[in-house]
Every structure is written in structure tokens, then in C-alpha cells.
A and B are shown apart, each in its own frame.
Chain A
Amino acid sequence: MISKRVSEIPFSGIRRFFELVQKSKDIISLGVGEPDFPTPEPIKDSGIRAIENDYTSYTSNYGLLELRIEIAKKLKKKNNIDRNPENEILITVGVSEALDLAVRAITDPGDEILVLEPCYVSYKPSVWFSYGNPIEVPSTEENEFIPQMEDIEKRTTKRTKAIILCSPNNPTGTVLRKRNLEEIADIAIENDLIVISDEIYEDLIYDNEKHYSIGSLNGMEDRTITLNGFSKVYSMTGWRLGYATANSEIIEAMMKVHQYTMLCAPSIAQYAALDAFKHEKYINEMVRQYDKRRRLLVKGLNSIDGISCVMPKGAFYAFPNIKESGLNSEEFAERLLRDGKVAVVPGNTFGECGEGYIRCSYSVSRDDISEALRRIEEFMRKIK
């Protein structure tokens, strides 16, 4: 009954674990992948006003022009990317849809798309759904999970069409520096590749690191699809609002798919987000809080015998090494859930090179981080 293609694609590896977590009681979850701050009040108010004023009809397929204009201004100011709001910006149902559209717009059957791992779980399935071949490019803890050029070059072939990258990264928290991006850009230009750059965590960045958009680099203008959205930075995950920007040829192709599948992003969410960029003070406050929790979590993890953790520079995840436990990621996560009452995400969920690691979110209260650390320490003592 089900198509061969869809049957062949596995469910996200941790579905069973997912169900186990949902059923568990009295656990502390460091498995959350969304902010623990509410949507800022002014954005909520704009959403409520949109409903009251009956701004509840379809919008343009591209999304509200007013919002695209705001996004264009923000791209110019913050990302050094110059785009025409008329036909170079597409508002989508979260970055998830934007990613799917980007891949569908550029992938022919058999095309190879390089996926820099560890990475978010939907990149590879998006490629499979488009009958493309995702090619994994692993990275290592020794290199702070920064993809190495030779690893990318080694896997680049005549069939390679694009590279998907994410910085700040989920799950590792790695932030690619300008130099790293320039190297990736060089490869893209030399091999005529498109870069799909997922920048959803762009503002969640610490230690004076700076976010750069690869699309702003010389020669990348016509070969970068920049993806972003309101979910993580404005705590709007459930509103489902993202956007993509690229040259008009690519955006129009993406719009074609979007038009027939989604028609438009939710109008209420679009109106709510209209003034979002004016509320940066909320972001600064959130970043301040995340920063403190990041240190608490990572220093705490590093003080536990058998666990070591690179200090992440962005997003709200830490990606500690648990290899000394003698367990693989999934065993570790399952036993920690059962015996230690802490939920984390096994690292191999994000690619094979994530094996031996777990993802811990610090998008939880300080109390929960302290208690989780206490439990993890006790768990590690017991399994020794």
C-alpha cells in the first residue's frame, strides 16, 4: 500500500526511545529541542490582534509582503545579504518546510547532497524524498565538530549538487567561523555546488563568537539558500514560521512547490512576527540566561568522571562524550532514562559520527540542570 520510497526511509531512529521517554515518570528531560521561554508578549499581542482584526485569510504564496520587507531589512543589516523582498524571500511553515522546498527545488534523482554531520534529523530524509543521495560528511570532537575541508572534498563528485550545513549547530553547538565558511564556499564555487545554510540558531551565540552567513561571501550570492525562522530565537516553535532567501530563480522554484503543497504560511503567525525584529532585547536577555546555564551544564558534565564535553559556542545544546561508560549512545540514553531518570538524546540520532555522544539541552531551568547533573553523576558512579 505504501510507496517503496516512503517505506524505505526509516523513522527517526529514536522513535522507540521517544515513546519510552513520554511514558517515563519523574524524569528530568534534557531532551527538549525548543526554548523554555514563552513567546515575547508583544509578539503574542500582535497575534491576538491579527485574530481580532480578521487577518485570518490566505496571504500571498510568498508570504506577507510587509513581513518579507522586514526580513529583507534584517538580512541586510545582520547577515550582510541583499535580497529583493518581492521575489527573493519565501515565508514558509517553519524551517522544516523551507529545507524540504530547498532540497526539492534543486535535486534531481541520483543527485548527491553532502550533509555535514552531526546534524538535524531531517536533512537526509529530505534528500531521500527527492530521490537524491545524501552523502554524510562526518566531523570529530578533536576538531570541535568543525567539518574538515579534505573530508568534504573527498566526497565531492560529478554528481554532487549541494552541501547542507547548520551553524550554530544542532546537536553540537559548534559555530563555524568565517574562515571555515570561506573554505566551504571555495569548494562550492570550484565544484559549482549550491549551499543550503540552516541558520535557525543564529542569535544564540556565546563567548563573543559571531555568526556569519555563508550567503554573504563573495561568489556565494547565487548559490546559497539561506534558511532561518522565528522558532528558536523568538520562542515561536508552535507558530510554525520560517523563511528562505536565495536568488529569484531558486526562490521561484521553491515557491512553486510551496504554492501547491502549503499555499502559504499561517497568516496569524506572519502578522504576529511582523514586529519581531524590533524586540531584540528579549533575545539578549534569553542569551544571557542560556549562557549561564550553558556554563553550569558543561562545567558540571566535565566534572563527572567518565564524561567530557567541548564547550559549545552556540544554540542551546551540549554534546558530551560518553565513550568511557563502555555503552553506546542508545544504550547509555536508555539506561540513563531508566536508572538515572534523566532523558537525553543519543548522539547517533544525528549521524553515525555522533555515536559515543549524547545531546543535552540547556533550554531547561537552572534547577533542572543541577538536578540532572547530580543524577548523571550518580548514574556514572553506578555503572562503573
Chain B
Amino acid sequence: MDIDREILDILKDDARISVSEMADMLNISTDEVEKRINSLKGRGIIRKFKTCIDWRRFGVKKAKAIIRVKVVPQERAGFSKIAKEISRDPRVEDVFVATGEYDLILFVEGEDIDEISQFVTEKLAPKKDIVGTYTHIILAEYKRDGVMLFDEKERRLKLSL
């Protein structure tokens, strides 16, 4: 059993799990758990601990879009330059380089559609390396980062022998 791998699997599912619970699950000391987590952080493997929030349920409406971006043909390094540039914009949640007709896929979040539209027209369109975009406005969310955003009834019997 690769303990670091197990730690990552557990944290991926629950970043707030206590060190002592993790120690119990992995049969190692709490000190070792902390040491390993610190090392994983230090090495940049654990980038950040975040929370998966259902904003709609909280009453906050946000506009989200997937934007596909076509870039002037260039070498890998070139993609990296523009991908990093776009990543620096706080409105952008995710940036991927992908195969297909479009080269980059972005997940963008804004207060409303206007903000998304502003991002496309003001941020992306003027870039001379970008030759085209295709925007999908997200209508509903069901699952994000592996987390279901809807409740399901437990179908198992509460007691069975």
C-alpha cells in the first residue's frame, strides 16, 4: 500500500478529515500523517484545500460558461504561454489544453451573463493568438469535482442481516 497515495485519495474526498481519523484508517501515527501531508504540500502535490459549494442552494446566482478557444497554430510552448495568460484571470476557474478543433477549454465564472460576455469580448477576442471562441452557457449543474449536487434517497434497508 502506497501511504501517500492513500492519503491523497482520502483528502481528495474529504479535505477536513482529522489527522487522527486518517491515522486510524491507515494504521500509522498522527505524526506521520502530518509529516506526509506537509511533505505533499511542500512538493506542490497538494495544491490547495477547497470546498465544494452549491451556490444556487445558498441563494447566490452565478453565470458559468465553458469556452472553447482556438489558438493560432503553434508549438506546445506557445499553448503554454497563452494558457498561463488566461489562467491568471480570476474569472477563469479551469484551463485545459485539449485535442480537437479547439485548443483550449476554459470554465469561466461571473456574476451574470454580461460578465461572461465581457470576458469573451474584452479579454479573449483582442488577443492576436486567438482566432476563434465558442461559448457554452451552463444551464444547470448536477455534479462537480466528483460531488453530486442533488440528493438521493438511500435505497438500502436500514437493517438487514
User: Which A positions have Cβ atoms within 8 angstroms of B?
Assistant: 12, 14, 17-18, 21-22, 24, 27, 29, 31-34, 36, 120-121, 170, 292-293, 295-296, 299-300, 343, 345, 349, 366-367, 370
Asked if B158 and A22 sit within 8 Å, CB to CB, the answer is yes
Chain B positions within 8 Å of A12 at CB level: 161
- What's the Cα separation between A372 and B133 when bound, in Å? 51
A31 and B21 contact, Cβ closer than 8 Å, known pairs A295-B27, A367-B14: no
Mind listing 27 A-B residue pairs with CB under 8 Å? A12-B161, A14-B159, A14-B161, A17-B159, A21-B158, A21-B159, A22-B158, A22-B159, A24-B158, A29-B158, A31-B158, A31-B160, A32-B156, A32-B158, A32-B159, A32-B160, A34-B156, A292-B6, A292-B25, A292-B26, A295-B24, A296-B25, A299-B24, A300-B24, A366-B13, A366-B21, A366-B25
Shortest Cβ distance from A300 into B: residue: B24
Shortest Cβ distance from B24 into A: residue: A299
Chain A positions within 8 Å of B27 at CB level: 295
Asked if B161 and A349 sit within 8 Å, CB to CB, the answer is yes
Asked if A36 and B14 sit within 8 Å, CB to CB, the answer is no
Partner of B161 from A22, A343, A345 at Cβ < 8 Å: A345
Shortest Cβ distance from A366 into B: residue: B14
Identify which of residues 17-52 in chain B touch chain A, using a CB-to-CB cut-off of 8 Å: 17, 21, 24-27
- What's the Cα separation between A254 and B156 when bound, in Å? 31
Q: How far is the CB of A292 from chain B (nearest CB, A)?
A: 4
If A14-B161, A295-B25, A345-B161 are given as contacts, then 9 extra A-B residue pairs at C-beta distance below 8 Å, sorted by A number, are A27-B158, A31-B160, A32-B160, A33-B161, A120-B161, A121-B161, A292-B6, A293-B25, A345-B159
Shortest Cβ distance from B17 into A: residue: A366
Asked if A34 and B160 sit within 8 Å, CB to CB, the answer is yes
Asked if A296 and B24 sit within 8 Å, CB to CB, the answer is yes
- What's the Cα separation between A349 and B10 when bound, in Å? 34
Shortest Cβ distance from A171 into B: residue: B161
- What's the Cα separation between A120 and B160 when bound, in Å? 11
* B contact residues, range: 10 to 19
Chain B positions within 8 Å of A367 at CB level: 14
Mask: chain B, 129-161; 1 = CB below 8 Å from A; 0 = not = 000000000000000000000000000111111
Chain B positions within 8 Å of A33 at CB level: 157, 159-161
Q: How far is the CB of B58 from chain A (nearest CB, A)?
A: 21
Chain B positions within 8 Å of A299 at CB level: 24
- What's the Cα separation between A367 and B14 when bound, in Å? 9
Chain A positions within 8 Å of B21 at CB level: 296, 366, 370
Partner of B158 from A121, A292, A293, A343 at Cβ < 8 Å: A343
- What's the Cα separation between A247 and B27 when bound, in Å? 44
Shortest Cβ distance from A17 into B: residue: B159
- What's the Cα separation between A360 and B161 when bound, in Å? 11
Chain A positions within 8 Å of B26 at CB level: 292, 295
Most central of B10, B13, B24, B159 by chain A CB within 10 Å: B159
Chain A positions within 8 Å of B14 at CB level: 366-367
Asked if A31 and B6 sit within 8 Å, CB to CB, the answer is no
Chain B positions within 8 Å of A14 at CB level: 159, 161
Q: How far is the CB of B158 from chain A (nearest CB, A)?
A: 4
- What's the Cα separation between A111 and B157 when bound, in Å? 35
- What's the Cα separation between A349 and B13 when bound, in Å? 35
- What's the Cα separation between A320 and B25 when bound, in Å? 18
Most central of A12, A21, A296 by chain B CB within 10 Å: A296
Asked if B159 and A29 sit within 8 Å, CB to CB, the answer is yes
- What's the Cα separation between A292 and B25 when bound, in Å? 5
Shortest Cβ distance from B10 into A: residue: A292
Chain B positions within 8 Å of A293 at CB level: 25
Chain B positions within 8 Å of A296 at CB level: 21, 24-25
Chain B positions within 8 Å of A300 at CB level: 24
Chain B positions within 8 Å of A24 at CB level: 158
Partner of B156 from A22, A36, A349 at Cβ < 8 Å: A36
Chain A positions within 8 Å of B159 at CB level: 14, 17-18, 21-22, 29, 31-33, 343, 345
Identify which of residues 105-136 in chain B touch chain A, using a CB-to-CB cut-off of 8 Å: none
Shortest Cβ distance from B158 into A: residue: A29
